A and B are shown apart, each in its own frame.
Chain A
């Protein structure tokens, strides 16, 4: 084990952290602004991945597949918000948990119905299939760097939207005081719909872009959901900055956990969360 091995692990960890950040930032926005627990968030990651797989299969090009899959995923998200989740905004967390739990059952079963129980994969597009040599024997795939770069661009874009635009101002206001925002005459239902769709788009996009490096399998949404929840809790609910820091901590520590302590890799993530929460019960950062 030499330095370059650790460098590769670190890069993998950061890349996984970026993906987690995309999923978790949507989740934290929905929690923080709408005060809604959305367990089906992981399902949107899965939906994104399967849509990209399906459309890439049809058109033979991953980028075209992703481009077409994004509006489809957003449409599914908006439909779910309008038809189901909008009814439980005021009903409390318990009913939200149950409703979204039921949605997971439905989405998972639909996935099995449409694509079966086998796991699938998509090839890395030719343009990005190369790799960068680090030492004589070790290389680093370009596609993973590409994922990180795209995530950075999206992250900066999100930062700009939330900090500098009018929509962002409303989102921030919604996170700190919902009733006040309504009193100022802002259509909160529309804001909720936008925020929810934004969250869905981010999660689905993370699923799409990760398709060439991860395989697609039934229940893939559950794994990413639980780990994103951990990220959100560590970072502080409603905080994008927290989601970023939490995603990096969890991404890097879970990748290193897998290589250094393979027997207890998954436990490490949760133990880390427990440690952070003993220190700071409300997470690392305040809302937005």
Chain B
């Protein structure tokens, strides 16, 4: 059950205000960094729908991110001008199709099998792009241009401009956030949250839980594709490493860092992880040891993530106590 309390809303609006105002005084480097954070936040929110609200732990979510990115590179990478209105639907359809295929097979399983199946399928796509000479293998693909946003002949936005892209990403992130809140508060969301808590009971109430899980999987995959599209359009360079299982693991880390099943947690987690990845390498060459240590500490001592710190201050936990661990 999604509960966003008043203090959290206040905090979110405050943060949104800051983010809106940031390009007025921020340096270009930090504007780009924030754009990255927001893209990762969208990616993590899509996974939150699956892991936090449906209770399906996926270790292959990067596949959809990468496929969204690759669709942009494959179909539009060689053209020097193309429209957003063509590119976005193609990328979303590509990611959704992949989610349908993987979902049809893996939804039938649960628990450990589900985790390993999603992982294995993501690896399949990873190796497909890694080894295919057609798509440049592990050298990746460079994009020639950014998508154009036009209405008729009128240019609405210039995505080549870093600040414009920043606001574009921010707009999409807010839209995804509101869209997920809408879904989760809708009857569909009630059912999947029920599945997360106790699938047997939901099934005994007469719901075809498999279908709900499947739809949730496809929505999550499509939104991850959206994040991949943004990443590809932003960096202009796509490699198979977008699909690697390290990415899938890292995005789970973002989710746990922030807090599962909160929707705003993934945003916080994205901020924390990107800043850590930016800051730790300055300390030592072997910063991954530190990152691993921090992750272990969080898993052991703060299993509900950073956002639970605010929860401990402002509200009492109602539902987490009765939730069975899976």
Contacts and interface: CB of A to CB of B under 8 A. Distances in A.
Interface residues of A, number: 48
B253 A229 contact: no
Contacts of A112: 286
B51 A31 contact: no
Interface stretch (B82-90, B148-156, B159-167, B294-302): B294-302
B294 to A, nearest CB: 8
B303 interface: yes
A226 B119 contact: yes
A237 B113 contact: yes
A235 B61 CA distance: 24
A2 interface: no
DSSP majority for the A interface? Answer: helix
B133 A263 contact: yes
Contacts of B116: 37, 229-230, 232-233
Contacts of B292: 102-106, 109
A277 interface: yes
A98 B132 contact: no
A97 B59 contact: yes
Interface in A106-128: 106, 108-110, 112-113
Contacts of B130: 266
A97 B252 contact: yes
Nearest to A277: B105
A101 B249 CA distance: 7
A94 interface: yes
Contacts of A82: none
Contact of B127 (A270, A273, A281): A270
B113 A98 contact: no
A267 interface: yes
B253 A109 contact: no
A7 B51 CA distance: 47
B131 A266 contact: yes
B243 to A, nearest CB: 12
Interface size of B as a range: 35 or more
A267 B131 contact: yes
Given A90-B325, A94-B51, A281-B113, A105 B120 contact: no
A88 B299 contact: yes
Contacts of A5: none
Contacts, number: 130
A91 B298 CA distance: 13
Interface in A3-59: 31, 35, 37, 39
Interface string B293-325: 101100110010000000000000000000001
B154 to A, nearest CB: 45
B108 interface: yes
A98 B312 CA distance: 23
Given A93-B112, A94-B51, A97-B59, 10 more contacts: A39-B249, A93-B111, A93-B115, A101-B295, A102-B292, A103-B296, A104-B292, A222-B245, A266-B124, A266-B131
28 contacts: A37-B115, A88-B300, A91-B325, A92-B326, A93-B115, A95-B303, A97-B249, A98-B249, A99-B296, A99-B300, A101-B252, A102-B253, A102-B291, A103-B292, A106-B289, A112-B286, A113-B289, A222-B245, A229-B119, A229-B120, A230-B116, A233-B117, A263-B132, A266-B130, A270-B120, A274-B105, A277-B117, A281-B113
Interface of B: 51, 57, 59, 105, 108-109, 111-113, 115-117, 119-121, 123-124, 127-128, 130-133, 245, 249, 252-253, 256, 260, 286, 288-289, 291-293, 295-296, 299-300, 303, 325-326
Closest 6 CB pairs of A and B: A270-B124, A266-B127, A105-B292, A92-B325, A102-B295, A106-B292
